[in-house]
Amino acid sequence: MKTNWISAVIGMTAFAASTLSAPALAETAKAAQVELESDVKVEKVVAENGTVRKTWVTPQVVVPGDRLIFSVRYRNVSADKVETFVVTNPIPQPVMLAADGADALDVSVDAGRNWGSLGALQVADGKGGQRGALNSDVTHIRWTLPVLNPGESGTLTYNAIVR
């Protein structure tokens, strides 16, 4: 089944990338100092002259199983140092966090109420108990940038798979 929701995902990611962790209103002054730009690419396998290579392209249509890379580029556009800048991205429902690299991220499995490494989080098992969280349970990713000096920039990324 083909899904043509990618523009909605890009819009959601752009909104999510510009939204700081709660309380968002307390972070508004910092948000004005840091410019954020979101993007999403899909992995495509290209065969040329008998050589197969992987490349990342702007998605037009995605299908279940496609690998995506979401990125948020940041830049301190102010003349002041910004301390403890937090970027929170919800994972769009049609995708799940890819397992590769998931353990290195600060994630939430309950819509941003609790945070930690994937291996430390628990979710309901549907039988009245708890089980260890899986990459498919992740609802949000958060990055905390301790200090952004004037003009400093970088890119934050995570990999996802279309459900």
pLDDT digits (tens, 9 = 90+) for 10-32: 444 443 333 322 222 335 567 78
Q: Coil, helix or strand for 5?
A: coil
Q: 34: closest CA among 74, 71, 63?
A: 74
Categorise residue 42: left if φ over 0, alpha if ψ from -120 to 50, beta otherwise: beta
Separation CA 28–CA 30 (nearest Å): 5
For the segment 53-82, the average pLDDT, to the nearest whole number, is 95
The answer to whether the CB of 83 falls within 8 A of the CB of 96 is no
Assigned token pair, 72: 């948020």
The answer to whether the CB of 101 falls within 8 A of the CB of 87 is no
Assigned token pair, 25: 């209103």
Question: How remote is the C-alpha of 74 from its chain's centroid?
Answer: 13
Flag whether pLDDT at 102 surpasses 50.
yes
Flag whether pLDDT at 4 surpasses 60.
no
pLDDT digits (tens, 9 = 90+) for 119-130: 999 999 999 999
DSSP per residue, 57-69:
E--SSB-TT-EEE
Domains of the chain in sequence order: 6-162 (2.60.40)
The predicted pLDDT at position 30 comes to 73
Separation CA 21–CA 16 (nearest Å): 10
